[in-house]
A and B are shown apart, each in its own frame.
Chain A
Amino acid sequence: GAGVSQSPSNKVTEKGKDVELRCDPISGHTALYWYRQSLGQGLEFLIYFQGNSAPDKSGLPSDRFSAERTGGSVSTLTIQRTQQEDSAVYLCASSLTSGSLETQYFGPGTRLLVL
């Protein structure tokens, strides 16, 4: 079946603009995760959804970052008033459900460059 898909694959924006990144999880997967990978940094957790609820938003770096999920499927990560330090690859992952034994499968990522 289809894997996790993300769009756009690349995004170039100017400092101060808002951007929206989209994630389509694997069909039937109820848990969805956003991570960020910056140059020279490891993968950093941003937010986790179970269904449409976000029980863990602890990784969102500032209030400029928000995310929502509708219909238990598609999720959108929004970054307002982008800064140059927001430049990174934003990765979405999904798992069948939540729990310590569940594995997360990653999408191809969105490469964001803030000029």
Chain B
Amino acid sequence: QKEVEQNSGPLSVPEGAIASLNCTYSDRGSQSFFWYRQYSGKSPELIMFIYSNGDKEDGRFTAQLNKASQYVSLLIRDSQPSDSATYLCAVKEGGSEKLVFGKGTKLTVNP
């Protein structure tokens, strides 16, 4: 069974701090990796995607991928209360179109 694992949290950080969200995956053939944000009662919203080893930055968000360690992370700098949500890690496996999701990490940013 191919799996995507996330720390369920909750993760609580003060406003302005860096929030670090982690994800590991079991399928070495995985090729693309996505971070979605899901507010309570809403549908997932794409935050970042990453395909290559290393870092990818977009505004306050940085995605990091290490394929050798089968590890992907999301850093949120200068966290804001509006960042409070559940963050879903999703992996697209090689040869497949489906996304395999982790169960999500709930982040709370305290004012």
A36 to chain B, nearest CB (A): 11
Indicate whether B103 reaches chain A with its CB closer than 8 angstroms: yes
Q: Between A and B, how many residue pairs show CB distances below 8 Å?
A: 56
What is the interface residue range for chain A against chain B? 20 to 34
Beta-carbon contacts under 8 Å, A8-53 to B? 31, 33, 35, 41-45, 48, 50
Indicate whether A66 reaches chain B with its CB closer than 8 angstroms: no
Indicate whether A59 reaches chain B with its CB closer than 8 angstroms: yes
Indicate whether A65 reaches chain B with its CB closer than 8 angstroms: no
Indicate whether A91 reaches chain B with its CB closer than 8 angstroms: yes
Contact A101 B34 (CB under 8 A): no
> A100-B31, A103-B34 given as contacts; is B44 within 8 A of A33 (CB)?
no
Chain A residues closer than 8 Å to B88, beta-carbon distance: 42-43
Contact B97 A56 (CB under 8 A): yes
Q: Determine, out of A68-76, A79-87, A106-114, the stretch whose residues face the partner at the interface.
A: A106-114
Chain A residues closer than 8 Å to B32, beta-carbon distance: 100-101
B92 to chain A, nearest CB (A): 6
Indicate whether A104 reaches chain B with its CB closer than 8 angstroms: yes
Chain A residues closer than 8 Å to B92, beta-carbon distance: 100
Chain B residues closer than 8 Å to A100, beta-carbon distance: 31-32, 51, 92, 94
Contact A33 B97 (CB under 8 A): yes
Contact B99 A43 (CB under 8 A): yes
Instruction: Bits for B85-111, please: 1 = Cβ < 8 Å to A, else 0.
Output: 000101010101111111110000000
> A55-B97, A56-B96, A100-B92 given as contacts; is B31 within 8 A of A43 (CB)?
no
> A100-B31, A101-B51, A103-B34 given as contacts; is B100 within 8 A of A45 (CB)?
yes
Contact B100 A108 (CB under 8 A): no
Query: How many angstroms between the C-alpha atoms of A45 and B91 in the bound complex?
Result: 12
